[in-house]
Every structure is written in structure tokens, then in C-alpha cells.
Amino acid sequence: MPLVLTAAAIGGVPLLALLLLVLVGAASPLPSLAAMVAIAAMAVLLAALLGRRIARLLDLVSGAHGHDSESGLGRRPSLLSLAAEVESLSRRARVQTAEIARLRQAEFAVLNQLPTPLLVLDQVGALLRTNVIAQAAFGGDIPAILRQPALRSTVSRALAGSGVHSAELTLSAPVVRELHASVVVLTPPLAGGGQLLILLSDRTRERAVERMRADFVANASHELRTPLASLIGFIETLRGPAANDAAAQARFLAIMDEQAARMKRLIDNLLNLSRIELSEHQAPQGEVELAELVPRVIAGFEPAFATRGQRLELSLEPALPSVLGDADQLAQVLQNLIDNAVRHGRHGGVIHLSAGTAESDPRWPAGRGIVVAVADDGPGIPRQHLPRLTERFYRVDRGRSSHAGTGLGLAIIKHIVNRHRGRLLIESTEGTGAIFSIWLPLV
């Protein structure tokens, strides 16, 4: 039926016009009849051809639409149904375009918000994009990172193959930083053409900790080996050349006693330090009355003050509030500070110990606290040593090693103060003495 209608639409007007001409005698009937037959045949042929083309188009549109081709063929091929199909196809295309835009945005948002610094490169290794945290961490250094030969060769290798590759990088300016870069090949690539992902992590701190640990082991064994070697030497001498020399024996035994005591102090301090480190993440819960603790610690130093001819001046603020802390550890801090003032301070000098409410001062943390300070009038500490004093085994004057301390006293203080969420401040002017101040939070 649609074929007849289409053929009528094509051939109807010329047929009627010819018929009219024959009827009014303007055309001879026989040739007109032949022309009419030819026109009707052409119309049917064209209608059939058109129908086939429309059916084919419908088929294609239905296929693109996701309908099965059966249903497209089964439908009557008309211009109306073709228009309906095209319209629904364009509606679907609009929805899909919006969906693709949304997915691209989501992809961008995921990369941008990942907490790892990352760089996106295209298929020739050029930088396409960085995320927020990469900008914050490396910002202007990103071009320098990408120029690093180790990273460039890793990128080339990654572009030639697939999988994950990595490189260790060192940035020298503005400060030395050690980075680890993982290069990931993206298959398929990201919507914007991203072919490689470089994930950066700053390993500077980790490496410094590794080095410190190695240094620590080396230092600890060295510090113990020296007195041990001296003990072994003296034992050999006592057995051999000094076997019958009572005076030498007494002298050597006194030195051996000193060396053994030093080894014991070293081991005690090291054990103490690791115990403190283990609990450093847990802030102490107790309340400590410094007004009671300070005089108790000072009393233990009376013989030392007498030996060195030193005098202690104490200024405690009246009605000192309690601090949040561990009494034994705070006693240890005071002991180490007074011990330093006695041993490193001046013979016959004055040691000043004060404790009072902290003034508001940018050097101290925010919040209410107490400042305990131990000051001496000894030789002081050269400026360049100040930042390193709290390192383990660090001593300003290494020359006087046999009578020197272990170099662990201030490291212990630093860890205790950290555990108390406090702050340690060391100030010194060479020639006039040193002041060690500790801020501690109030209960």
C-alpha cells in the first residue's frame, strides 16, 4: 500500500495532466496512453527504489540506536518513522555527550583530589596536567623534576612498554630533597590524552631517619668500644707488667672503675632514651607540683655544688600551678640540666634556676604554660653548635673525652619535652653562660 501511495504521489500529477489533455482533444490518445504507461511504470519503479532506501536508512538508524535490525526491517519504511528514529537518535546523542563531559570532569576531580602528588604526561612525554597536591608540594620545581635524566629515561622506557617503572630523584635547590617517582602507563589513555602518570613521594625525611639510625648504631658502638678497649688493656697490664706493682694497680683500678662507670652510664642513658621514645606519642596524664619537685632534685646536687664551689640561686613563683606531666621524667630533665650547669658551667660560678608562669611570647606555644629555666655563668656554647646540641652523642668539646659526659643528656631532655608537648629553648652567648628554658603546658 505505501508503495502505491508513493507511486501515486510521484506519477499522479503528470498522469492526470496527460489525461486532461487527451479529454480536451489537445493530445492524440494513442501516444498519450503510451506516455501514461511509461510514467506509471517509472513512478512505481522510483517508489520502490525510495522505499528500499528509506528501509535501509531506518535499518542504520535503528542499529545506531541499539535496536536489533529485525525490528528496523519489520517496520514500514516511511519518512515519518525515519524522522522519529532520527529525532530519538539525536536525543540520545545529547544525553551521551553530557555523560561524557561528566565522566571527564569526574576523572579530573579524582586526579586532582588524590592525596599523592601526580603529573600526567601525554604520549610523547610532555606534561599535560598536575594535581593540587603536586602544585603545593613541588610547584615551580616540576619542570626541574621532569628534566631529571633518571626520570626522563624511565619515562621513555615506560612509553616503550607498559606496567609500572620507578626512579629515585634528587633535587638540589632550594634545599636538597630526595624523591621517589613511580611511572604508570595508562591503557587506555585518559580522556584528555594522558598516557603516563607519575606519582611522586618525598622520601627526604625517611632517608634522613635511615641515615640517623645508621649513624646512631655506629656512634653507640664506637662510644662503648673506647672504654671497653681501655678496660681490656688495663686487665692485660694488671696481669702482666703491673702484676706485682701495688701502686700501679691502685691507679689502674681507679681508671678502670671510671671507665666501667662510663660504660654503665652510656648503657643506662641509651636504654632510658629508647624507653622515652617508645612512649613519646602518649602525652603524660599526671599532675606535677614543680614547687615540690624542684627542691627535691636540687637537694641531690648539694655535694656536686660543694665540689665545684658553685652556688645555686632559686626563684620559684609563689603558688606555682601544676603542670601536666610525668614526675620521674620531669625530675630527669631537671637533673640533666643542673648536671650540665655544674659540669659545663664555671668553677665557683652561680647557677640560676627559675620557674614561673609563661609570658605570652612567640617563642612559646599558644596556651597557658610554665617556663622552667636553668642558667649558668660558664663559658657558654658557640653559636654554630646550638642547633645540634640535642643530637645523640653531640658534644661541643670532644677533646676532653675521658671525663666528658655521654652526650645523651640533652637528647633525653628533648624527647621528654616532646612527650610533654612542651618546648625546649637553648640560648647562649659565648663567654657569659648558657640558658636552657623549658615550656610545659598547665594541667
Ligand X SMILES: Nc1ncnc2c1ncn2[C@@H]1O[C@H](COP(=O)(O)OP(=O)(O)OP(=O)(O)O)[C@@H](O)[C@H]1O
Tell me how far apart the alpha carbons of residues 239 and 247 are, in angstroms, rounded to a whole number: 14
Quickly tell me which residue has 666528658 as its cell: 404
Choose, by CB under 5 A, the member of 378, 409, 433, 441 that binds Mg ion.
Answer: 409
Residue closer to Mg ion, measured from CB, 111 or 408:
408
The option from ligand X, Mg ion, none interacting with 62 (CB < 5 to 8 A, set by class) reads none
Choose, by CB under 6 A, the member of 434, 438, 440, 441 that binds ligand X.
Answer: 434
Q: What angle do CA 121, 123, 124 make, to 5 degrees?
A: 85
Q: How many angstroms from the chain centroid is the CA of residue 29? A: 99
Secondary element (H or E) of residue 51: helix 29-65
Choose, by CB under 6 A, the member of 177, 308, 344, 352 that binds ligand X.
Answer: 344
Choose, by CB under 5 A, the member of 325, 405, 433, 441 that binds Mg ion.
Answer: 405
Is 345 near Mg ion (CB under 5 A)?
Answer: no
Is 269 near Mg ion (CB under 5 A)?
Answer: no
Residue closer to ligand X, measured from CB, 6 or 269:
269
Secondary element (H or E) of residue 185: strand 177-185
Number of residues that bind Mg ion (CB under 5 A): 3
Closest CA to 31 of 43, 50, 18, 40: 18
At 120, list the grid cell. Answer: 600526567
**Residues 383-402: x/- map of binding to ligand X (CB under 6 A)?**
------x----xxxx-----
Which alpha helices (DSSP H) does 75-175 contain, by range?
79-113, 132-138, 142-147, 149-160
Is 320 near ligand X (CB under 6 A)?
Answer: no
Question: Which range, of 59-67, 184-192, 320-328, 400-408, touches Mg ion by CB under 5 A?
Answer: 400-408
Is 422 near ligand X (CB under 6 A)?
Answer: no
Choose, by CB under 6 A, the member of 59, 223, 326, 376 that binds ligand X.
Answer: 376
Closest CA to 309 of 348, 337, 276: 348
Is 378 near ligand X (CB under 6 A)?
Answer: yes
Is 373 near ligand X (CB under 6 A)?
Answer: no
Tell me how far apart the alpha carbons of residues 392 and 266 are, in angstroms, rounded to a whole number: 11
At 411, list the grid cell. Answer: 637528647
Give the three-class secondary structure for 99.
helix
The bridge status of strand 311-316 relative to strand 350-357 is parallel
The option from ligand X, Mg ion, none interacting with 407 (CB < 5 to 8 A, set by class) reads ligand X
Query: Least distance (Å) from Mg ion to the CB of residue 410?
Result: 6
Residue closer to Mg ion, measured from CB, 77 or 405:
405
* Under 8 Å between Cβ of 179 and 202: yes
Quickly tell me which residue has 643530637 as its cell: 391
Give the three-class secondary structure for 407.
coil
Is 77 near ligand X (CB under 6 A)?
Answer: no
Is 406 near Mg ion (CB under 5 A)?
Answer: no
Q: Which residues would be at the binding site for Mg ion (CB under 5 A)?
A: 340, 405, 409
Q: Enumerate binding residues for ligand X (CB under 6 A).
A: 269, 336, 340-341, 344-345, 376, 378, 381, 389, 394-397, 404-411, 434
